[in-house]
Structure 1
Amino acid sequence: MSLHDDVVAALRGWPGPQHALREAYLGFLAARQDACERSCVPGHITASALVLDSTGTRALLTLHPRVGRWLQLGGHCEPSDRTLAGAALREATEESGIEGLRIDPVPVHLDVHPITCSLGVPTRHFDVRFVVRAPAGAEPVRSAESDDLRWWPLDALPPDTDDLAPLVRAARQQATWTAL
């Protein structure tokens, strides 16, 4: 199965509440076989992860150098990715420096946002978001992809992160989030 097929299957069976947005993603995927590739200029599927500590009370956020804001970890799908959950887990591991992360393979939230990404061309990210749990005592290691990286209490996220509220709410509501 290709990554494209995995994304279609994951979204087709997704029980999440964003039905209209899910259908828009599926329409985009039906129209574009290259929808998972960064080179798809109209937009492309990305995978991100809300990394929670082992207690589920703190989120690991990155101060994104290009955007200049605190965000969840994540990014572009790579040619080697076979599943979208795998892409989100790879990105979370690379950007956090934490080994032993565990992902809930069911997406928790969807978000489309305009961005000028690494190709320097304005585009859109069709972001599929997952919940990831870090092992007890995990300490992040900042990579070159971040200006800062730190744990934030879920009820005290940094300023200018109101757009993360729906993701945090969805993570708290997902039935399997405590079972990770």
Structure 2
Amino acid sequence: MSLHADAVATLTKWPAGTTGQEALRHAFLGFLAAREDACRRACAAGHITASAVVLDQSRTHVLLTLHPRVGRWVQLGGHCEESDASLSAAALREATEESGMSGLTISAEPVHLDVHPVTCSLGVPTRHFDVRYVVTAPDGAEPVRSAESDDLRWWPLTALPPGSEADLTELVAAACA
């Protein structure tokens, strides 16, 4: 199955938990129906991305990266690659690469969707249609910052970084539900 076909299958069967998430699910499916290249970074109209809300084993902390291009604390994730067999594989690969941790486990299905404007590696304004998964770190796992991050650290779920609350509150709540 191609990554595009996996994205369609994943989002077709995903039970969105809210009216807003259901509307986004339909928008993502419409975008996928219109664009065979929707999962490719080269799709300038926008592209499907995959991200991971990395929680510690106790589910009391979330791992966030200070994204150099965005300038804010965000969840780990990024572009799908040709080698990714599925959206969940892309999210797990990104979480592993950006956290430096091995032994991560991923939820079977997404927990949240988001679409946001961004100027990514294409160098032109585009949109990321982000499919978000929960990833759990093994007990005692310590992250190692990669070159893709200005900082990387665990944050208590009850004390997200200042200025990130609006972006992360709904996502973290969905991840913990």
CA distance in 1, matches of 2:39, 2:100: 25
CA distance in 2, matches of 1:155, 1:53: 14
1:105 Cα deviation after fit: 2.1
| Aligned residue in 2 for 1:141 | 144
| Aligned residue in 1 for 2:62 | 59
How many residue pairs get aligned? The number is 173
CA distance in 1, matches of 2:78, 2:125: 16
1:160 Cα deviation after fit: 1.1
Which of the residues 48, 66, 71 maps onto 1:68? 71
| Aligned residue in 2 for 1:86 | 89
- Matched AA of 1:165: T
CA distance in 1, matches of 2:121, 2:64: 20
- Matched AA of 1:27: G
Which runs of 4 or more aligned residues in structure 1 lie more than 2 Å from their structure 2 counterparts after TM superposition? Answer: none
| Aligned residue in 1 for 2:173 | 169
TM-score by length of 1: 0.95
- Matched AA of 2:144: V
CA distance in 2, matches of 1:136, 1:5: 34
1:165 Cα deviation after fit: 0.7
Deviation by residue 1:30-58 (Cα, 9 ceiling, x = unmatched)? 00000000000010000000000010000
| Aligned residue in 2 for 1:7 | 7
Deviation by residue 1:5-62 (Cα, 9 ceiling, x = unmatched)? 0000000000122111100100000000000000000100000000000100000000
CA distance in 1, matches of 2:69, 2:109: 28
1:171 Cα deviation after fit: 1.1
Deviation by residue 1:153-175 (Cα, 9 ceiling, x = unmatched)? 001010111211110111122xx
Secondary structure of the 2:49 match is strand
Q: Structure 1 unaligned runs (5+)?
A: 174-180
Q: Structure 2 unaligned runs (5+)?
A: none
Secondary structure of the 1:150 match is strand
